[in-house]
Amino acid sequence: MKVLVNISLKAGVLDSQGKAVHHALDALKFDGVNDVRVGKQIVLQLDETDASSAKEQVTQMCESLLANTVIEDYEIEIVS
């Protein structure tokens, strides 16, 4: 089963990488970009066949290792 984990900084947490990208887009004359937030995506391939069990496992992975839950939010998407 393929699972996507999208991790982003929580609202209110300064995103210095996002600010740098925003500044670079402005310098390249890309108008109309109001804000940029940079995150990460983790793709997992699991042996699990039950979507509910897979989501529970990946939630534990996120809480234990994949995301810094103090400053980051995560979303789990079961793909197949």
Question: What is the structure's pLDDT at 36?
Answer: 97
Locate the domains of the chain by residue range. 2-78
Q: How far is CA 34 from the centre of its chain?
A: 20
6-61 tens-digit pLDDT: 999 999 999 999 999 999 999 999 999 999 999 999 999 999 999 999 999 999 99
Contact assessment for residue 56 and residue 17, using Cβ atoms and an 8 Å cutoff: no
Q: What is the pLDDT of residue 18?
A: 97
CATH number of 2-78: 3.30.1280.10
pTM of the model: 0.89
Q: What does the pLDDT read at residue 34?
A: 97
What are the residue ranges of helices labelled H in 28-68? 51-61
Q: What Cα–Cα distance (Å) separates residue 65 from each residue in 18, 29, 69?
A: 23, 39, 9
pLDDT of residue 42: 98
